[in-house]
Amino acid sequence: MLGGEGPRVSQIGACEMNAMATTQRLLIIDDSESIHPLIRARLNDFGIDSISAYNGIQGIEMASQMQPDLILLDVNMPDMNGFEVIKALKDCQETFNIPVIFLTGADDRDDKVTGLDMGAVDYITKPFEPVELRARVTAGLRTKKLLDLLTTEAEIDGLTGLHNRRFFDRRIKAELAACARYGRPVGLLLFDVDRFKQINDNHGHPMGDRVIQRIGTVLLESCRNTDLPCRYGGDEFVVLMTETSGSKICQAGHRVYDFIVHDEELSTMVRSQPVTISLGGASASSHRRLSPEQLVQLADNALYRAKEHGRNTCRFDEQDDDSSQRHRQTGVA
């Protein structure tokens, strides 16, 4: 419960670190077709995946869709120049953090200053020297990799390897916006460990940490690839689920519950006290539009009812159908 009682190897290990090791992608936006193969040839030995756009509008679309790690952007293009393109990129949340290096003419001092003021990280003068091109591009990619790593670490729970509350808060807003716009249902599970304070008090905080770590691992095993399990704080966990409502959220909740309370390692971890959870669930849909705060509150209300029914059970928001699933008996600790 909110304010109540009281890993896939890990998401950073299995997902983000793999992503960091993959080939980085460079988007070249330049109306001169001859410049593209020239740049690719100069960077060929660096294992960089280069993609090309030949005008500003195409470049903006490709940046949003393909999420490159770095953009080389020509200043002087017809229809939409480089300054207009970078303004559009920096005004869009999806492309705001992609570093941009301007390609400018040899004497365009004002263009260089303007580009840097608008958010470019560097510039390369045309005609460029191969050594300078490589150095500036690799420096830009290195900076992006470090920024990605810092962002990832800021959104990962250090104890479980799950995403944390900060990441969850950002994702639930995006998923509910998609629900409102496209009618895609969103489900939410919220659970905590029954009598977790007693585990800490009777067996010490290191044992409590072991319990939390193991629950994080088992939770990942119980979730689909499309689910987003997070540590919400303390002994509380959430699972954000797309395309899930009604009876499906009930089924998913019982699956998570069963995985955790029947886990052999958890069942023997704490002497004299079985590790159990109480779980609540709720969902939003095109017919029931909810804010993030409303959806979390509904799931928390359901969790509170699970506590009232003796803990070690699941309850779901009354608007979610399939009463047989909703009230399936699970057991009482």
Is position 138 within any domain? Answer: yes
The answer to the question of residue 7 being in a domain is no
Q: Answer whether 141's CB lies under 8 Å from 48's CB.
A: yes
> Same domain, yes or no, for 228 and 177?
yes
pLDDT at 106: 64
User: Does residue 169 share a domain with residue 44?
Assistant: no
The residue from 154, 172, 203 where one domain ends is 154
Q: Tell me, what DSSP letter sits at residue 31?
A: S
2 within a domain of the structure (yes/no): no
End position of a domain, from candidates 98, 122, 154: 154
Query: 161 and 133, same structural domain?
Result: no
Residue 94: predicted pLDDT:
82
Q: Residue 30: which of 22, 40, 18 has the closest Cα?
A: 40
Write down the pLDDT at residue 13: 42
Is residue 113 domain-shared with residue 43, that is, in the same domain? yes
Beta bridge partners of residue 49, listed in sequence order: 25
Same domain, 256 and 308: yes
Its domain, for residue 144, covers: 13-154
- Predicted local distance difference test score (pLDDT) of residue 210: 94
Query: What is the side-by-side strand order in the sheet with 186-193?
Result: 228-233, 236-242, 186-193, 277-284, 314-316
pLDDT at 47: 83
**Quick one: pLDDT at residue 158?**
87
* Nearest one of 261, 263, 220, 164 to 7, comparing CA atoms: 220
Question: What letter does residue 15 receive in the DSSP assignment?
Answer: I
Number of Cβ within 10 Å of residue 45's Cβ equals 8
Q: Are residues 145 and 164 in the same domain?
A: no
**CATH code of the domain containing 172:** 3.30.70.270
Report yes or no on 203 lying in a domain.
yes
In a domain, 98, yes or no: yes
Class of residue 280 by CB neighbours under 10 A (exposed 0-12, middle 13-18, buried 19+): buried
CATH number at residue 82: 3.40.50.2300
What is the 8-class DSSP label of residue 16?
I
| Of 306, 322, 312, the residue nearest 250 (C-alpha) | 322
Q: Is 273 exposed, middle or buried (0-12, 13-18, 19+ CB in 10 A)?
A: middle
Residue 174: phi, psi to the nearest 5?
Answer: -65, -40
Say if residue 310 is in the same domain as residue 250. Answer: yes
For residues 133 and 190, membership in a common domain is answered with no
Does some domain include residue 331?
no
DSSP assigned state of 193: E
> How many domains does one find in the chain?
2
Find, among 246, 240, 180, 239, the residue nearest to 215 by Cα.
239
- Any domain includes 244: yes
Query: 221 and 169 in one domain?
Result: yes
Cα separation, 192 vs 278, in Å, equals 6
Structure tokens at 169: 């808060």
Is residue 8 in some structural domain? no
B/e letters for 73-97, b = 16+ CB within 10 Å, e = fewer, are bbbbbeebbbbebbebbeeeeebee
Do 118 and 54 lie in one domain? The reply is yes
Share of the chain above pLDDT 90, in %: 65
Q: How many CB atoms lie within 10 A of CB 277?
A: 26
pLDDT value, residue 251: 94
Among the candidates 97, 132, 154, a domain finishes at 154
* pLDDT given at position 221: 94
Which H/E stretch holds residue 187? Answer: strand 186-193
pLDDT in tens, 12-30: 443 433 434 457 899 999 9
> What is the rounded distance in angstroms from the CA atom of residue 326 to the CA atom of residue 245?
12
- The verdict on 140 and 164 lying in the same domain is no
Residues of the chain with pLDDT under 70: 1-22, 106-107, 320-333
Q: Are residues 33 and 137 in the same domain?
A: yes
